[in-house]
Amino acid sequence: MKKKLAILLSVAMVLTFALAACGGGNEDLSDSKYLGSWTADSMSFAGEEGDLDGNVWILALNDDGTGTFTGIEADGTEDVSDFTWSQTNGGFKTKGDVNLDFKEDGDDIVTKFMGVELRFKIEGEGSSDEFTFGDGAAYGYGGDDPIEAACYKYMAETVSKDYDAAEFSIPTVNIIHEDLTQEDEYLVYGNFWIDNYNGEGDTLKSVSGGNYPGCMHVSKDDYTVTAFDVVADGGNFEESAKEIFGDSYDDFMAVYSDSDKHAEDRKITVSDFVNLNGLEYKYYQDEGWDPVKLYEAGK
């Protein structure tokens, strides 16, 4: 019965997406209590509970009325669908690539389609209250994904301590793959950088930093990084990278060797840090290199 439920759920998802209508978006939902990321916790059919069988579904709701529905199969295959959403009496509805109605049930939200009930819990429910999306300004993260934010925070607050103190520690995080199927933790594979700066005039002058490719282990309880598997340096680099990244090794190497993409990602993160914190810096500069002009807020 559990296997039949999983198959039925997959079929229902496909049909639901195929029948979806187009939506508008750009609605101001900044005060909505539904904002954030919701993860499927259980499903049932005709009153009988079923397992998710290693599948993961994540519903992310943004304050501008847009959102994403991410489905991750047990083998790691990922599919992301976009939608718009608006509040209803006792819940909300989505339109676009995903056309569903959600209702509150206690602290959970529930949707039903083709007889299948899928229940979602807000990410971080029951965890400590330390994490808020607003914390991201302290390390240049302006998004709303608590997993990604945990990586930024770890680089800024923990890895930065490997260097002499500086005024600002700003990470660059490039996530290559996430494994959300583990029982107690998320595994985040990526190319992680930390750069430390001192401010001089209108420029952030880089004084130290380094690259740390590898896999971060993020607790599902409180979104803290509990372990960090870093690729070895020198002659053991390739062997270590293949061991850590596994099937994602080629994707990692493509990102790792793309210096232009790293430069752009770094420029975006430093710009976000400056703009989120209301600072007046207009450039960052590595020693011996020309200053790099930062992006202005809203441009």
Mean pLDDT, rounded, for 38-63: 78
State both tokens at 280.
């007046």
What pLDDT digit, counting tens, does each position of 224-260 carry?
Answer: 999 999 999 999 999 999 999 999 999 999 999 999 9
Could you report how far apart the first and last alpha carbons of the chain are, in Å?
53
Sorting pLDDT into bands at 50, 70 and 90, what band is 54? low
Per CATH, the number for 2-122 is: 2.40.128.50
- pLDDT exceeds 50 at position 21: no
Q: Using CB atoms within 10 A of its CB, is residue 225 exposed (0-12), middle (13-18) or buried (19+)?
A: buried
Which contiguous run of DSSP H or E holds residue 102? strand 101-105
Within 10 angstroms of residue 227's Cβ, the number of other Cβ atoms is 12
Name the residue ranges covered by the structural domains of the chain: 2-122, 135-293
Residue 71: phi and psi, rounded to 5, are: -110, 130
State both tokens at 272.
């976000």
| Virtual torsion, Cα 139, 78, 67, 220, nearest 10 deg | -50
Determine the pLDDT at residue 221: 86
Least confidently predicted of 91-100, 188-197, 202-211, 277-286: 91-100
Instruction: Write the DSSP symbol of residue 136.
Output: G
Determine the pLDDT at residue 39: 87
Highest mean pLDDT among 42-46, 77-81, 206-210: 206-210
Highest mean pLDDT among 65-74, 140-149, 195-204: 195-204
- Separation in Å, CA 20 to CA 95, 131, 268: 7, 34, 34
Determine the pLDDT at residue 58: 86
What pLDDT digit, counting tens, does each position of 277-295 carry?
Answer: 889 999 999 999 999 999 9
